[in-house]
Amino acid sequence: VLQLSRDGQEELPQQEGAVGGEHGLAHITGGAFSKLDRLSFGKIGFNVNNLPDPPQIFKTIQSITKISDYEMYRTFNMGIAFCIITDESNYSEIETICQKYGTRTYQVGEITSEMGVFITGSTGKKMKLS
């Protein structure tokens, strides 16, 4: 699982095209990481266990509202805007293209045989989102 953080960057130009080996794309907006479940077709799961620290705004929201980690990762993208599900061997090429346009990338997890979307948040607790 490869996730991109946009931070207001422009979309990657279409001419860069697909690298090959992409198995799915997900825009992490409303519903956040639970959107990955739509790509599973009931056959695979996603273990998102290597996320970068969320931006300060999400830490502030959680601190003020006392919302649980589960609810934060179920509701907000926590700074991750887009996911590309691809073979690990494609990561370097995709990362190079993204860096060319000022977009940061993170290799944040893996596909598993255990169905569902699992997130390991900043506290280290593994949570099943869907």
Q: Is the pLDDT of residue 9 over 60?
A: no
Q: Does domain 2-10+19-128 have CATH number 3.40.50.300?
A: no
Q: Is the pLDDT of residue 69 over 50?
A: yes
Domain definitions of the chain by residue range: 2-10+19-128
Q: Say if pTM beats, i.e. exceeds, 0.85.
A: no
Q: Is the pLDDT of residue 4 over 70?
A: no
Residue 8: pLDDT band by 50, 70, 90 thresholds? very low
- Please name which of 101, 115, 107 lies closest in space to residue 48, comparing C-alpha atoms: 107
Residue 54 φ then ψ, to 5°: -70, 150
Please indicate whether residue 50 or residue 14 has the higher confidence score (pLDDT): 50
Average pLDDT over residues 106-120: 91
